[in-house]
Amino acid sequence: MATPSSFSIGSTLVLCIIFASLIALTTSNSLADLCIKCQSPRFCLQVFGLNPHRNPYQLTVEAIHLTFTNASDTTNKIHTFLDQTNDDNLKEIYNYCLNYYEASIDILSDAEEHLLRQGIYDTLSNIGAFVQEVGFSCEDRFQEIVDDSYVSTLTQNNNNMKNFGSIIIAAGNLLSNSTSTNNN
């Protein structure tokens, strides 16, 4: 006999996730409006969880904060990798990525401390675009070494940045549109 129990646990879980996402989508216009505009709506729903009681401003603050935490975590990871390698090419790649990740952390903390509090929302799309660029540039760097090619050890982290960047862009649009009276 096959094992129906493991199948049903797996499919029940999938059903729960779909059901929970649908609840989120039908009960929260802001969360739905935001996630539907993202590169990966599924990633967006996962990182925000299912509390629907958040307005565009709260979602934006949370997006910036989650991205900041994530990028900081990746920075620590890169430091560890840097300590562990004697390969000069890898050192160069990791330092390159580190510069990008650290720049994004500065920008995100500035956004958290100043821009959002001052109601400056129009730069959010640039910030989001930069966060995406961090992911793309770091990932590409592994293939850009002359005469040698490396398998990226940061693919997952870089993909997170691409997705977080797209969330920040969408959140910025949502926020600007929800607070402005003319939508030209």
Give the shortest CB-89-to-ligand NAG separation in angstroms.
27
Give me the residues that bind ligand NAG (CB under 6 A), please: 33, 37, 46-47, 69-70, 73, 160, 173-174, 177
Helix and strand counts by DSSP (H, E) for the chain: 7, 0
Give the shortest CB-73-to-ligand NAG separation in angstroms.
4
* Residue number with CB closer to ligand NAG (76 or 149): 76
- Identify the CA nearest to 33 among candidates 181, 176, 182: 176
Give the shortest CB-19-to-ligand NAG separation in angstroms.
20
* Residue number with CB closer to ligand NAG (26 or 149): 26
Output the residue with the shortest Cβ distance to ligand NAG: 73
DSSP state of 39: S
* Residue number with CB closer to ligand NAG (158 or 160): 160
- Identify the CA nearest to 56 among candidates 180, 184, 164, 183: 180
Give the shortest CB-88-to-ligand NAG separation in angstroms.
29
* Residue number with CB closer to ligand NAG (26 or 180): 180
Q: Are 168 and 131 in contact (CB under 8 A)?
A: yes
User: Is residue 152 packed enough to be buried (19+ CB in 10 Å), middle (13-18) or exposed (0-12)?
Assistant: middle
